[in-house]
């Protein structure tokens, strides 16, 4: 599955990576934390989206569509 990262998460991950398929957001989140432990706090604060839907931790993931990881951002 393709996972896309934005903003501060690009400090820890490439903008787009391929990951093995995961059943839920919680499972993907755990795998991302294991891959980049330093990003754990920021990942915990991030939202996950697929298509035009924001996903909850227990949401199922469709492997054929990219997952977008959206960290909190500040604007101005």
Q: Residue 46: give its domain's CATH number.
A: 3.10.20.30
Mean pLDDT by 10 residues, the chain (76 residues): 94 95 95 97 96 94 93 69
Residues 24 and 73: their CA atoms lie apart, in Å, by: 24
Q: Does a structural domain hold residue 55?
A: yes
Q: Does a structural domain hold residue 24?
A: yes
Residues 59 and 61: their CA atoms lie apart, in Å, by: 6
Which range of residues forms the domain containing residue 64? 2-70
Q: Does a structural domain hold residue 75?
A: no
What does the block give as tokens for 58? 């227990």
Q: Does a structural domain hold residue 35?
A: yes
The reported pLDDT for the residue numbered 18 is 95
pTM: 0.91
Q: Does a structural domain hold residue 37?
A: yes
* R_g over Cα of the chain: 11
What domain count does the chain have? Answer: 1
């Amino acid at each position: 599955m393709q996972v896309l990262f934005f903003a501060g998460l690009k400090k820890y991950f490439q903008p787009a990576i391929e990951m093995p398929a995961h059943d839920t957001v919680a499972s993907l989140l755990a795998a991302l934390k294991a891959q980049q432990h330093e990003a754990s706090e920021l990942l915990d604060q991030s939202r996950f989206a697929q298509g035009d839907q924001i996903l909850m931790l227990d949401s199922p993931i469709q492997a054929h569509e990219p997952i977008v990881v959206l960290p909190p951002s500040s604007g101005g």
